[in-house]
Amino acid sequence: MVKRLGILNAVAHFILWLLALYFFVKVGAGNLKLSFCGFFYADALSAFLIFTTATISFAAALFSISFITTDLVLRKISERKALFYYLLFNLFAAAMFFVPLINNLGCLWVAIELTTLISSFLVGFYNTRHSVEAAWKYLIICSVGITLALFGVILFTFALSSATGIKSLNWTELLAAAKMLDPTIIRVAFIFILVGFGTKAGLAPMHTWLPDAHSQAVSPVSAMLSGVLLKCSLYAILRYGVVVADCCGASFYTNLMLVFGLLSLTIACVFIITQRDLKRLLAYSSIEHLGLIAVGVGLNSPLALFGALLHLFNHAVSKALMFFCAGRVAQAYGTHDLGKISGVSRALPVTGLVMLAGVFALIGFPPCSIFISEFYLVSSAFLCGNYWVGALLLGLLAVIGGALLYHFGKVLFGKPTIVGNPPQQEFSPAESGGNWLAYGFLLFFILGLGIFIPAILQQSLNAAVSILRGE
Amino acid sequence: MNWLCLFAILLITAETALVSRFPALLRNFRYQSFCLALLVFLAAYREGGVSLYIIAFLLFSLKVLLIPYLFDVLIKRIGSSDHLGLFLNAQVSLFLVFVLGLVAWFFSGLVVAPPAYLEQLTLGVACFVMLTGVFLMVSRIKALAQVIGLLMTENGVFLAATIIPGGMPFFVEITLFFDILISVMIFGLFIYRINAIFTHIDVSKLSGLRG
């Protein structure tokens, strides 16, 4: 029953992925701007985020088939709970699909808040001491953040209403009136937006919920949290950023993004070096990559923005792959403790091999796609004349890469140590068809985009860059 | 009348710094929400909009009646003690809340120009309520106090929204109320779970995840 539901869920997400691909090609590459009743709005940027969401949710749906079945076999969850998982999974995905399609900034706020409320159940899914603690911290910290963001939304509305008399929260109307808005109010409002949505996006120093939530969530959901959820909040910041840049000049917004981006990279670097938990290690790596995207936005050149958007997708697929592998390893070993895991390449040969590829992808080794986007980001820093930013990026990426290689080297090689509960005999090391498909699907993007960027993607990203630059 | 409501909100909010028991905190939240609903009702009377009357009614029924009732039920069910557990004592809390008031007043002056005194005062009080809500969340040990702190912060945000001529768009406000109701129920559910698993709702002891 649960397996059949999992397969049905994956088929539904595949259909959704095909629709998202069609939408992406039509709207993204065609540089269309669609509006429906003034409430829904889609352009190249929205289409790109929808495609990213569809890609990760399809991969997660594929991986969920065997993951949830294995959890059932290992008696970690009941059948009823497995069914509940699929309900929450789809509600969570639906909320994330909704975010890029909303024109009304008040409803965008509600959609982002809904993603928190729904995913909190998926973080606390196993109902253990650690998972409930993580879910509580996630709920509280993100709710405070998002409440501050709501205050920012109100200040934006106040600025629009006082300057033009328009009583609207639509992004398109806000952008059209950007030059008439009071720059002081807009600056203050944006700080609240950045801190508020930045909390949910995992930007340091507001990131404290992220390692807890990502490490305790069900692994396919960790992939969705890291791959898409963080980007949904970043998307909201970017939308407001365009208005701020038009109203007060780009430097205020870009400098803030640069500062938060570099801070995130630095803090992630420290915690990655000292990390002792496999899934927390991946969570801190997400903070690092979000920091990189923020730096790209902060540099604000067309090349940097192109690199940042490409990195958004590349990180989503690479990190999803790594969370899937980490989930398999945690099921086999019964722990995420790095000190208790070794010899994965021998205990789980396929997962080990995919994990090795994933580590190289995360570090940014050629020919993986992250190499290309990181190359764009670092080179744009030097081309913009921000030599110290470029040098800092190179230094931090080198240290983080070294630390990841060290940690995963210990996990992948050596004598296999299957310890703890559940016992190994109840866990099947053979990979299911769903896992093969999920790995293959993500590796296709990781390796494919590292070698060649299709013209459709290039056109779509260029269109999205133009939107971000207010052109 | 607006000035009176704002003054009442200011006093009630400042008094929460001295509160050390949950029923008193809940009562303060109820009074604060009542003043907020009254402010919106006055705005509705002044501007004549039906939507504002509906918002005032929703504020009253949700934040003055329903949410406090739900918390009453929850606290009886989990059987936790009434003490909020203070990280900082009442005197220090009051001093810090006073400092937050000054910060809020300075901030409101930044955003609203001097001729608009009522707007400036409203925004100042709104920021004060928000900051005090956040302060309560970090300075009180019990999970319930954190949720009330969050709801007070939301009250501050709603108060700030009253400076927008005509308020926020109606359907956005309705969605926000729906969101608040859902989030309160989810918070309640998690408090229940924390109490079942940890046998307490002391958030200072939720420290199993570090690094």
Residue B27 domain flag? yes
Across the A:B interface, residue pairs with CB atoms under 8 Å apart total 121
Q: What's the pLDDT at A304?
A: 97
Give the chain A residue nearest B171 (alpha carbons). Answer: A107
CA distances (Å), A461 to each of A24, A28, A291, A346, A425, in order?
10, 8, 20, 41, 48
Residue B211 domain flag? no
Instruction: Kindly tell me the sign of the dihedral angle through the C-alpha atoms of B74, A81, A96, A251.
Output: positive
Whether residue A158 contacts residue B164, with contact meaning beta carbons closer than 8 Å, is answered with yes
Query: Token pair of B147, please?
Result: 């949720």
More confident residue, B57 or B167: B57
Q: What are phi and psi of B86, to 5 degrees?
A: -100, 130
Q: Which of B55, B8, B52 is nearest to B30 (CA)?
A: B8
Helix (H) or strand (E) holding A34: strand A34-36
Q: What's the pLDDT at B179?
A: 83
What does pLDDT average to over chain B?
A: 87
CA distances (Å), A133 to each of A127, A130, A282, B57, B203, in order?
9, 5, 19, 36, 9
Residue B208 domain flag? no
Residue B210 domain flag? no
CA distances (Å), A207 to each of A197, B4, B205, in order?
11, 40, 20
Query: Token pair of A368, please?
Result: 């993986």
Which residues of chain A fall below pLDDT 50?
420-423
Residue B78 domain flag? yes
Q: Which domain, by its residues, includes B132?
A: 2-202
- The shortest CB-CB distance from A167 to any of B111, B160, B166 is to B166
Whether residue B59 contacts residue B37, with contact meaning beta carbons closer than 8 Å, is answered with yes
Helix (H) or strand (E) holding A41: strand A40-42
Q: Which amino acid makes up residue A359?
A: V
The DSSP secondary structure of A250-293, one letter per residue, reads HHHHHHHHHHHHHHHHHHHHHHHHT--BHHHHHHHHHHHHHHHH
| A140–B146 CB contact, under 8 Å | yes
Give the chain A residue nearest B193 (alpha carbons). Answer: A132
Q: Report the alpha-carbon distance of residue A120 to residue A118 in Å, rounded.
A: 5
Q: What's the pLDDT at A423?
A: 47
Q: What are phi and psi of A11, to 5 degrees?
A: -65, -45
Q: Report the alpha-carbon distance of residue A422 to residue A332 in Å, rounded.
A: 8
Query: Domain total for chain B?
Result: 1
Whether residue B28 contacts residue B164, with contact meaning beta carbons closer than 8 Å, is answered with no
pTM, two decimal places? 0.93
Give the chain A residue nearest B176 (alpha carbons). Answer: A110
Intra-chain end-to-end CA distance of chain B, in Å? 52
Q: What's the pLDDT at A463?
A: 94
Q: What's the pLDDT at A175?
A: 92
CA distances (Å), A104 to each of A98, A100, A101, A111, B180, in order?
12, 11, 9, 11, 18
Q: What are phi and psi of A103, to 5 degrees?
A: -90, -35
More confident residue, A85 or B167: A85
Confirm or reject contact between B181 and chain A (CB < 8 A).
no
Quick check: B207 pLDDT over 80? no
A399-437 pLDDT per residue, tens = 999 999 999 999 999 887 765 444 455 677 778 888 999
Q: What's the pLDDT at A424?
A: 53
Whether residue B37 contacts residue B64, with contact meaning beta carbons closer than 8 Å, is answered with yes
B178-196 pLDDT per residue, tens = 888 888 999 999 998 998 8
| A113–B190 CB contact, under 8 Å | no
Chain B contact set for A275 (CB, 8 A): 211
